[in-house]
Structure 1
Amino acid sequence: MNKGKALRAGDTIGLVATSSPATEEMLNKAIAGLVELGFKVKVGETCYETYGGYLAGTPLQRAGELNAMFADDEVDGIMCMRGGYGAPQILPMLDYDLIAQNPKLFVGYSDITALHTAFGQQAGLATLHGPMATSDIAHGLDDWSKQYLLRAMTRPEPLGPIINPPGEDVVCLVEGQAYGPIVGGNLALIATLMGTPYQLDTRGKILFLEDIDEEPYRIDRMLTQMALGGLFNDCAGVVIGTWTNCEPKKREGFSVWDVFQNIVVPYGKPTIWNVQIGHGAFNMALPFGVEATLDATHGVLAIEESVTV
């Protein structure tokens, strides 16, 4: 895999808005937060844009700026301002050859799942599923998540075991061990890319899933779509993150736990539940595209390869 360099104090992070807009107040707080972490910040123009109410600039603007950040020698790493919606729109407009030739650490989650997938499969770029600028850093990262983010961004060494904060137990759903690169991200985005040139390839890989604000019947529908597409049959193992505000709203019935038991567990792939990554109170950084070991029997996911050089 292509890898960006590990960041050091004083390095410049390029801030991009690939999806939805944010307020200038939150943007300023995010910039201050990144400076406090020891980085310089180069803010993309799209971070100040609003297009159609729910987009930070046109698809062409957002794609062009992201391409430019990879090409910019002054930018050492790239972080997304926030998720929301819009990243899938720009996938056909990205210059994957340029990105492969100028690898940089790329950080984001949620809607950014589309970019993680495309970068990994089209540019061979290892990326970091982790906290973003206005979504997380502007609000003040908890110490646990901050520790994982900084370790992943600044140390060119494997993260090793991903350990939950105290009081959050990892649960084994299916025993066994799996080995392979980690891929995945937000369930809704993985489902969105099904049947497109950017569909997630899970063959021989450890699949990570998380989401927010989706009722169990919607999660059922998206997992079923993935199952019909062969993603669970192909994967080596499954890591299930957090499912914030995903309870049934209008009726009693299956919980998210039940849905995974019904759809994913029967595939018999080593599977763990409740890793604190996603839209919850904690959001530990998780490298994508690098080798990992999943010991589901003992509830341990260990990152065996650095996401940076």
Structure 2
Amino acid sequence: MIRKPAALGPGATLGIIAPASPARDMDHLAEGIKVIEELGFRVSLSPNVLNYNKYLAGTENERLGDFHKMFLDPAIDGIICLRGGYGSMKLLPDINYSIVRRNPKIFVGYSDITALQLALWKKTGLVTFSGPMLTPDLGNKPSDFTLKHFYSVVTNLRPLGAIPCAPGVKTTVLVPGCSRGRLLGGNLTMVAAALGTPYEIDTRGAILFLEDVDEQPYRVDRMLQQLRLAGKFNRAAGVVFGDFVNCEAKDKNNSLTLLEVIEAAVAGLHMPCFLGLSVGHGEHKATLPLGVRAEINADECRLKIIEAATTAAIKK
């Protein structure tokens, strides 16, 4: 069963949680809160959001408690993650998924947060959103492109239509064609890490979206081959590659390029694939609903959302 969250209306309250790594910059935290408030929303910080446990934002119990609290609290209308980093996957076995089923809310994040989004889709059918987080994005001089698209997505009751491409983004047709399917995926590292677990992505009939950051081409190659060997490409209806930031080789004389790696991964596939969606770790981020039906037109390097991602807006 697919569960759609309510769209955000004026004055809606966004809860901030840190399910992965801790905040690095308090100025970015304060600025992110200010940006959300300037969009017309209220902000509520979870009790443990500023906790620090080396590379984790607190203990598993603290981070899990905040996750549950924000879904349970009727005063919280949507949830944005503080940042990614590492740690989301450690929470998956202990999440009370019935809480999420009973209280579907807008849930926004990307990168390491992909682990939570995969699990929430698998266990509850909740439509979540790959979009800007608090400190690395909203609190760090977000572009107008990022802010406008985020706001338009979380407040929209209708199908979003074509996902915009940020200025200057180069697109590449990998395999021509058009198809439709549910849009699933996220960070390549996390999608690959979930293989063989109860939260493994099911790409049958789906449009698979992938992005990543700070990975050398050989590492991207290995993860893409892992997905290919697991049957995740040949069962999909299409594949869309978003931003792969800082993923070119340090030693370019002894490495394939990122494009060569991606082209090899989709070689011989018979579904549409393209590179160049403005989603992920790039400066300009479109917000992408995960779990709704979409249409891929690889000939035009276009992804179109054809199903509404939210239900009636919350009135305050």
One-letter amino acid matched to 2:221: D
Matches within 5 A, 1:262-277: 262-277=264-279
Q: Deviations over 1:221-259 (max 9, x none)?
A: 111111111111111100010111111113522111100
Aligned to 1:295: 297
The worse-fitting range, judged by mean Cα deviation, of 23-32 and 103-112 is 23-32
Q: CA deviation at 1:151?
A: 0.7
Name the CA distance, whole Å, in 2 between partners of 1:166 and 1:250: 29
Answer whether contact 2:175 2:269 (CA < 8 A) is retained: no
Q: Which residue of 1 aligns with 2:208?
A: 207
Q: Are the counterparts in 2 of residues 108 and 128 from structure 1 also a CA contact under 8 Å?
A: yes
Give the Cα separation in 1 of the matches to 2:61 and 2:236.
34
Q: What are the residue-to-residue correspondences of 1:1-309 with 2, within 5 Å?
A: 1-22=2-23, 23-51=25-53, 53-252=54-253, 253-309=255-311
The 1-side partners of 2:252 and 2:156 are apart by 47
Structure 2 CA distance for aligned equivalents of residues 169 and 259 of structure 1: 17
* Secondary structure of the corresponding residue to residue 267 of structure 1: coil
**Counterpart of 2:250 in structure 1: which amino acid?**
K
SS of 2:281's equivalent?
A: coil
**Aligned counterparts of 1:299 and 1:141: Cα–Cα separation in 2:** 25
TM-score of the aligned structures, taking structure 1 as reference length: 0.97
- For the 8 Å contact 1:291–1:305, the answer to whether it is kept is yes
Question: Sequence identity, in percent?
Answer: 43
Preserved CA contact (<8 Å) 1:18 1:86: yes
Contact 1:64 1:94 in 2 (8 A): no
Q: CA deviation at 1:169?
A: 4.0
Alpha-carbon distance in 2 for matches of 1:95, 1:178:
35
| CA contact 1:33–1:140 (8 Å) conserved in 2 | no
Distance 2:145 2:77 in 1: 24
Alignment RMSD (CA, Å): 1.1
Gaps of 5+ in 2: 312-316
Distance 1:32 1:89 in 2: 30
